[in-house]
Amino acid sequence: GENVEQHPSTLSVQEGDSAVIKCTYSDSASNYFPWYKQELGKRPQLIIDIRSNVGEKKDQRIAVTLNKTAKHFSLHITETQPEDSAVYFCAASDNNNDMRFGAGTRLTVKP
Amino acid sequence: ETGVTQSPTHLIKTRGQQVTLRCSSQSGHNTVSWYQQALGQGPQFIFQYYREEENGRGNFPPRFSGLQFPNYSSELNVNALELDDSALYLCASSFGTDTQYFGPGTRLTVL
């Protein structure tokens, strides 16, 4: 089955700096890669997703890149703000079934 | 917030008991996926229901079972509870292979 690895496990940045979180996956059949943000005690919330027919997707300060050959994808957050502080999870699946999540990255943005 | 709801919010059970968790999917969605999230970890896929049929299952024993009803709401049943079953149980609804949206979760504690 699919195995998703996520790095780093913790990330601390200064407000206004960029943050990058990287994930690798093992199953070449995976074609859907969402990123979720989870604040303490709350549900995971989708922040951006990408499908395998696209190499990059951007939504304001958030971007995701996908390298299918290398089986890795990354989340980029620019101009970070304190409210970006949360745990971020990457995930991979084949057509949104049997979705496998990474272990999470705790992002802290210092004011 | 998504239109996905879960009940109950919290639940305390003792080892060996059985539990039923409920999930109401967002309007227009026909697919429900269930996840177990242990403290400090990413969600682990339990199974998915599509149009009332199980449509994929993760590495969970048969004592984890589910149902989906004609209105696409769903139940997760866990028999013979073990201490390690203590976790946040999340459901997510989607329209087929489209984006999954999570409910707020049920926190299960097994004593």
What confidence tens digit (pLDDT) does each residue in A68-78 have? 999 999 999 99
Q: Walk along chain B (111 residues) and give the pLDDT tens digit of each residue.
A: 669 999 999 999 999 999 999 999 998 899 999 999 999 899 999 999 998 999 999 999 999 999 999 999 999 999 999 999 999 999 999 998 888 999 999 999 999
Answer whether B97 sits within 8 Å of A103, measured CB to CB: no
Answer whether A89 sits within 8 Å of B45, measured CB to CB: no
Min Cα separation B100/chain A (Å): 8
Nearest to A62 by CA among A46, A43, A41: A46
Answer whether A98 sits within 8 Å of B58, measured CB to CB: yes
Give the C-alpha separation, B21 to A54, whole Å.
Answer: 37
Residue of B nearest to A103 (CA): B42
Task: Report DSSP state, residue B33.
Answer: E
CB A100 within 8 A of CB A32: no
CB B6 within 8 A of CB B104: yes
Residues forming a β-bridge with A63: A58, A76
CB B47 within 8 A of CB B35: no
Peptide bond into A8 cis (omega under 30): yes
Give the C-alpha separation, B56 to B46, whole Å.
Answer: 9
Indicate the length of chain B as a whole number: 111
A1 CB neighbours in chain B (<8 A) are: 59
CB A23 within 8 A of CB A73: yes
Give the C-alpha separation, B75 to B107, whole Å.
Answer: 15
Answer whether B44 sits within 8 Å of A101, measured CB to CB: yes
- Residue bearing tokens 């199974």: B47
Residues forming a β-bridge with A91: A101
pLDDT of residue B107: 97
